[in-house]
Amino acid sequence: MKHRFLHTIFLFATCFVASCEHPDLTVVTPNENIRPAADFIKNNFEMTLFHAALQKTGLAAELNQEGPFTVLVPNDVAFNEIGVFRPTDFDRMNQDSLRRIIKYHVLPRRMFLADIPANGVDVRYATLEGTSLHTSLASFNPTGGSAVNDLFFDGASVLRKDVGLANGVLYVLDKVMKPQFETNIQALLTAKPEYRVFVAGLKKFGLWEQFGTAGPFTVFAPTNKALESLGITEEVLATMDVAKYNAEELFGTYIIYNKHFFISDSKVFSTINADGRYSYKLKGSPYVMTYFSNTSYPEWILGYNLELKSSDDVFAQIIARVEYRQRAKVDFLCTNGVVHNLETGLVKPGQALKK
């Protein structure tokens, strides 16, 4: 009996001693050197121009604060494409506009890819600037296939997702977003001299006033040069008889009514339902327009394609076919739609005569 008692004591004592041992366990310590947003951007060779813009607008200090922020950073190539090559180039810009645009690239929230709804199209998120941007995430095709997760903000493709920061998260964009804030399509087209002939044509053929309404519209705006190649100049326009031409064929062909399409939208829907094409008949005309976007050899830049046919017949004559690959000149987001630049004309006056 007594022995058993001693044995028990001995056993407990051994346990106590054993428990005093402290083996060195390797614990993974979290990285304490993650930088806040502005410092991260400063130290990244791909984002020097965005950093210069932050410096210029005085937003660098704000982005180093607690946050949380989601920063959408266009890389240096994106700035080069809109004509910004060195930090001093920002001096030529209107500082208030620059500040608004840069603030538009920052969201006051920590938004990881997983927080964005799968297959969400045009999901609106508030920006630091006060307005909201359009987010589209092409996750997968519901009828099967692997995950894609192509992410776009206002038509800009995301090159790199979910870069963790001490005070938020960072995405790298392939182009600078182009919100026009309070500007509508009328004001945008008027402000750009390269669309002078297009504007004159719209006015002459009674298609101009609608761009003052809510819309939405998608406009592929042809430059003066593009229209000249079709034989349309201001002088020719002045002599044209409105009654002889079908306005919707001559100038309405550049307009998609009641839709606002970013160039990326077609890419998004080619994932979601395997159909990124949008075909429609022009108003009051048998002409059929097909719009889609894709990437192609050799530059693999997301661009748009237009194909105009004389009818919906399989063997119908192709009137015009356009492939456009300059990502910096598309996706101008106005209050009542989206404007894309177009450098090829579509319909010659002779092809738009009333039958």
Partner 1 sequence: MKNQRIKIYIALLSICALCIIGCTKVEYTEIKEPAYLRVFNNLNYVQTLGSKDDKVPYFCMLINPTMDATGEITGAEVIGDFFDKRDAYAPPYPSHIGNSTSLDNPEYPGKRNVLVAPMLNGFDLSSWAQVPSGSLRIVFAYRPKNTVPFLQLESHLKKDILIDTVINLGSKEVYTLHLLQKDFVTKEHGLLLREENFHKLPLSDSLVYVNFYNMSAKGFVEADASLKDGDYRLRSFMGGIKEEMNIFLSLYEDQGVLSHMAPTVPGYKGKYMTRVVRNNSSSAVAPYVSFPLWASSKTNGIQTTMWQRFDFFVPGMDITNNPIHSTTSNTEGNWAVVNCLLNGKVNLTSPDNGTMLPNMLVNVHSGIHNPRTFATVNTLEVVNGRIYMTTIQRKFAPPIY
For binding to partner 1 (CB under 8 A), which residues are involved?
117, 119, 121-122, 216, 258-261, 265-266, 269, 272-273, 275-281, 312
User: Minimum distance between the CB of residue 273 and partner 1, rounded to whole angstroms?
Assistant: 6
Q: Torsion angle, CA of 95/98/104/106, rounded to 10 degrees?
A: -90
The amino acid occupying position 304 is Y
Q: What does the block give as tokens for 85?
A: 């090559």
Residue 259 C-beta: closest distance to partner 1, Å: 5
Least separation in angstroms between CB 135 and partner 1: 13
* Cα(308)–Cα(145) distance, integer angstroms: 32
Q: Which is nearer to partner 1, 117 or 231 (CB)?
A: 117
Q: Would you mind telling me the total number of residues written for the chain in this entry?
A: 355
In this complex, which beta carbon is closest to partner 1, that of residue 247 or of residue 263? 263
| CB-CB neighbours of 274 under 10 Å | 10
Helix axes 95-104, 48-57, angle to 10 degrees: 120
3-state secondary structure of 341: strand
Q: Which is nearer to partner 1, 198 or 269 (CB)?
A: 269
Count the alpha carbons within 13 Å of 344 in the hemisphere toward its beta carbon.
Answer: 14
Number of Cβ within a 10 Å radius of residue 196: 15
Q: For partner 1, give the closer residue by CB, 33 or 258.
A: 258
CB of 299 to partner 1, least distance (A): 24
Q: How far is CA 29 from the centre of its chain?
A: 38
Q: Which residue lies nearer to partner 1 by CB, 196 or 259?
A: 259
The least distance separating partner 1 from the CB of residue 199, rounded to whole angstroms, comes to 25
Q: How many CB atoms lie within 10 A of CB 102?
A: 23
Shortest spacing between CB 201 and partner 1, in angstroms: 26
Extract the tokens encoding 189: 């087209």
Q: Decide whether 61 or 214 has the Cβ nearer to partner 1.
A: 214
